[in-house]
Amino acid sequence: MTEQESIEEYLHEAEEENKLVSFLLGCSFSWEGMLTEAGLIPRHIEEHRNVPMYITNIPNRTSGPFGGFLVVSMRPYRPEQVPQVAAITSRFPGAHGGPIHSGDPDKIGISPDRLGQPDFGDAVTIRDGELPVFWACGVTPQTAIMAAALPLVITHSPGHMFVTDILIEEMDIQQCST
């Protein structure tokens, strides 16, 4: 039996036994347009790259076989820009919300020399006077899945998200509460 036939057989059995589970997470790419409109262009957009993502030392809450560690995306900003960046992104909790950390990456288990070597995505330039700012990332489930060692998983590739017809304005808690 070929690998393709094996996968097809497994999928057929899993589907018949109702064993497949699907879920979607919001993505920080959702609010990047809002940052750009405010003049806070994310560096990876400026440099035509994928956002850098790092595995931290922050453990996920374990559920059954699922564990792993939090993955964060990073965008550099000047310290005086961080409050405005946080205010904009915090309006979108369904798309990872505000930053979980800014400044010393060692505090979340990312050595400063790793900033140039992300676990996923592409490295970006951090200019003098800028801080790395970190957000929870939708790649986090990959670490939970790896910890679970499941026989079959179908997932997205980091930086290539599901596209939907939900508008960013519909996810903005400021607009939803008015």
Half-sphere exposure of 150 (CA within 13 A, CB side): 19
pLDDT by residue (tens digit) across 127-150? Answer: 999 999 999 988 888 899 889 988
- Count Cβ atoms below 10 Å from residue 110 Cβ, excluding itself: 22
pLDDT by residue (tens digit) across 23-42? Answer: 666 666 677 888 999 999 99
Contact between residue 16 and residue 77 where contact means Cβ atoms under 8 Å apart: no
Nearest residue to 140 (alpha-carbon basis) of 76, 53, 79, 77: 53
pLDDT of residue 96: 79
pLDDT band at 15 (very low <50, low <70, confident <90, very high): low
Q: pTM, whole model, 2 decimals?
A: 0.81
